Structure 1
Amino acid sequence: MRTQVAIIGAGPSGLLLSQLLHLEGIDCVVLERRSASHVRARVRAGVLEQGLTDMLARAGLGGRLKAEGLPHDGFTIAVGETRLRIDLKTLTGGKAVTVYGQTEVTKDLMAAHEARDARVIYEAEDVALHDFETDRPKVTFQKDGLSHQIECDFICGCDGYHGVSRASVPRGAITEYEKVYPFGWLGILAHVPPVDHELIYANHGNGFALASMRSHTLSRYYIQVPNGTLAEAWPDDAIWRELKIRLGPEAAARMETGPSIEKSIAPLRSFVAEPLRFGRLMLAGDAAHIVPPTGAKGLNLAASDIHYLSEALIAHYREHSATALDTYSPRALARIWKAERFSWWMTMLLHQFPDLGPFNAKMQQAELDYLSGSLAAQTMLAENYVGLPY
Structure 2
Amino acid sequence: MTYAELRAALRHEHLPLAYCDLDLLAANARSLVERAGSLPIRLASKSLRCRDILRRVQAMSPVFQGILCYSAAEAAHLAADSFKDLVVAYPTVDRHDLDLVCTAIAGGAEICLMVDDPLQLPFLSEAATRADVTLPVAIDLDMSSTLPGIHFGVRRSPITGVDAAVVLADTIAGTPHLRLDGLMGYEAQLAGLQDLVPGQRLKSAAVRALKRRSQPEVFARRAAVVAAIKSRGHELRFVNGGGTGSLEATRTDASVTELAAGSGLYGPTLFDGYDSFRPQPAAGFALPIVRRPTPAIYTCFGGGYIASGSPGRDRQPTPTLPAGATLLANEGCGEVQTPVNYSGPEILALGDPIFFRHAKAGELCEHFKELVLLAGAAVVGRVPTYRGDGQSFV
Q: Shared fold (TM-score greater than 0.5)?
A: no
TM-score scaled by length of structure 1 = 0.29
